Amino acid sequence: METNRARYAGLALINGVMIRDERALAVAVRQANGGIQLTLWKLSPGARWQRRLNRIPFLRGLWMLSTMLESG
């Protein structure tokens, strides 16, 4: 029996973290006063070739890394 598993990717930032899944990107950064600023973005649905690419683990990892570096 196959289960639907969530796919998350994360990236450490200088003063925070960036987390993304297939639909959204979130960045949490610690401010100078000790508070945490949270910013959320909704991502546009991927093209057909991106969905096919996501089925291949190594290529999916390279794609996620490149988009995370571009976003961060």
Does 33 reside within a domain? Answer: yes
- Residue 3 falls inside a structural domain: no
Note the pLDDT tens digit of each residue in 30-56: 999 999 999 998 877 765 667 677 778
pTM of the model: 0.61
The answer to the question of residue 22 being in a domain is yes
Residue-wise DSSP of 9-29: EEEEETTEEEEE-SSEEEEEE
Establish if 2 belongs to a structural domain.
no
> Which element (helix H / strand E) includes 58?
helix 57-71
Confidence grade of residue 72 (pLDDT, cut at 50, 70, 90):
low
Classify residue 58: in a domain, yes or no: yes
Whether the Cβ atoms of residue 19 and residue 5 lie closer than 8 Å to each other: no
Q: Please provide the average confidence, as pLDDT, over all residues in the chain.
A: 82
Our count of domains for the chain comes to 1
**Structural domain for 48, as ranges:** 9-71
Q: Is there a domain that residue 56 lies in?
A: yes
The reply to whether 1 falls in a domain is no
pLDDT grade for 29, boundaries at 50, 70 and 90: very high
19 vs 67 pLDDT, higher one: 19
For residue 14, the Cα-to-chain-centroid distance in whole angstroms is: 17
